[in-house]
Amino acid sequence: MNAPAKDLHARSDWTRGEIADLFALPFPELVFRAATVHRAHFDPTQVQTSTLLSIKTGGCPEDCGYCSQSSKYETGVKASKLMAVESVLAEARAAKEAGASRFCMGAAWRGPKDKDLDQVCAMVEGVKALGMETCVTLGMLTAEQAMRLKQAGLDYYNHNLDTSPEYYRHIVSTRSYQDRLDTLEHVRNAGMAVCCGGIVGMGENAEDRVGLIHALATLPVHPESVPINALVQIEGTPQALATPVDGIDFVRMIAVARITMPKSMVRLSAGRETMSEETQALCFLAGANSIFYGPRLLTTPNPVADTDRTLFAKLGLTPMPLD
């Protein structure tokens, strides 16, 4: 079976039925279709690398059921203040030297206060001056805050949908799905690129995975980056005992994201620490072309850069250069 020509074009009119049909394909057919779409838009040997730094850790008032940084759960993560601009820039320089092309900064807030936003804007300006792409994740944004970040030169704003609209209430109660969509709209209207994906392995069913992909792939413009995370179980959170996602199911998720959002960077995101090299290799084959690089993802471990370099060498992959 060849990839249908319509797979190769970005479209936002996907139906849940079409997406469910993709998930149901025999695995070799699904991966072949995804790889075909991948090759039509990208060099399949190149993987974009991003480094993520937590610029303000813990003490978050939200109750996302998977998160070590929520103040609602006893996870052992200590709340810290917003980092100084110079300290952040020192980390960005080190990330650049280690080969990262994008520097992502995350703050555990419901949304930024205006005085904090001044400091984040200074960080964005400093990282841009190093010649790196910038991304921040600060929680919910107003339209005005999105404009301020755009004016500071921010390239990407990360705000995930997490899961399907139906399953969402089992994961988060302090902000609604619509709140998230509103923030994404503000980011888009301000002219920034969107980084938006979700998490699998939180007890969702197959229909919820269809629902998450459907919510992402029917946004008026597809997110430029789509992080697909495998839940990292954190002791103390409601998701601490969730059953880990099956590796083949995770690859299917990557493949369906690739087919439905053909021009997006599909990021193999949290959960790589416990993922075998073989599963990661299948993800790259199925269209993943972005990873987080560096020893920590906010507060959870991530394969160290040397491990990634070894894996890249084994697979013949190279870091994607900046445009």
Please report, as ranges, the residues that interact with ligand SF4 according to CB under 6 A.
60, 62, 64, 67, 69-70, 108, 139
CB of 179 to ligand SF4, least distance (A): 11
CB of 197 to ligand SF4, least distance (A): 13
Q: Please say which residue, 62 or 208, places its beta carbon nearer to ligand SF4.
A: 62
CB of 162 to ligand SF4, least distance (A): 8
Q: Please say which residue, 56 or 214, places its beta carbon nearer to ligand SF4.
A: 56
Distance between CA atoms of residues 197 and 217, nearest Å: 10
Among the listed residues 102, 148, 175, 195, the single catalytic one is: 195
Q: Please say which residue, 167 or 312, places its beta carbon nearer to ligand SF4.
A: 167
CB of 103 to ligand SF4, least distance (A): 18
Among the listed residues 33, 148, 267, 272, the single catalytic one is: 267
Closest to 42 in 3D by CA, of 296, 267, 304, 279: 267
CB of 186 to ligand SF4, least distance (A): 16
* Residue 164 and residue 211 in contact, taking contact as beta carbons nearer than 8 Å: yes
Q: How far is CA 180 from CA 4, 23, 103, 176, 283, in A?
A: 32, 26, 23, 7, 27
Among the listed residues 104, 121, 196, 283, the single catalytic one is: 104
Question: Per the structure block, which two tokens stand in for 245?
Answer: 């996602």
Task: Specify whether 121 is catalytic.
Answer: no
CB of 64 to ligand SF4, least distance (A): 3
Closest to 119 in 3D by CA, of 144, 138, 91, 94: 138
Question: Cα-atom radius of gyration of the chain, to the nearest Å?
Answer: 18
Q: How far is CA 43 from CA 35, 47, 266, 290, 319, in A?
A: 11, 9, 13, 12, 11
Task: Specify whether 267 is catalytic.
Answer: yes
Please report the DSSP string for 195-238 in residue order.
E--EEE-SS--HHHHHHHHHHHHTSSS--SEEEEEE----TTST
* Residue 133 and residue 101 in contact, taking contact as beta carbons nearer than 8 Å: yes
Task: Specify whether 64 is catalytic.
Answer: yes
Kindly tell me the burial class for residue 207, based on how many C-beta atoms sit within 10 Å of its own C-beta (0-12, 13-18, 19 or more): middle
Q: Please say which residue, 120 or 255, places its beta carbon nearer to ligand SF4.
A: 120
Q: Please say which residue, 67 or 121, places its beta carbon nearer to ligand SF4.
A: 67
Q: How far is CA 63 from CA 16, 69, 78, 107, 153, in A?
A: 28, 9, 16, 15, 30
Among the listed residues 64, 121, 196, 283, the single catalytic one is: 64
Q: Please say which residue, 69 or 280, places its beta carbon nearer to ligand SF4.
A: 69
Please give the positions annotated as active site.
60, 64, 67, 104, 135, 195, 267
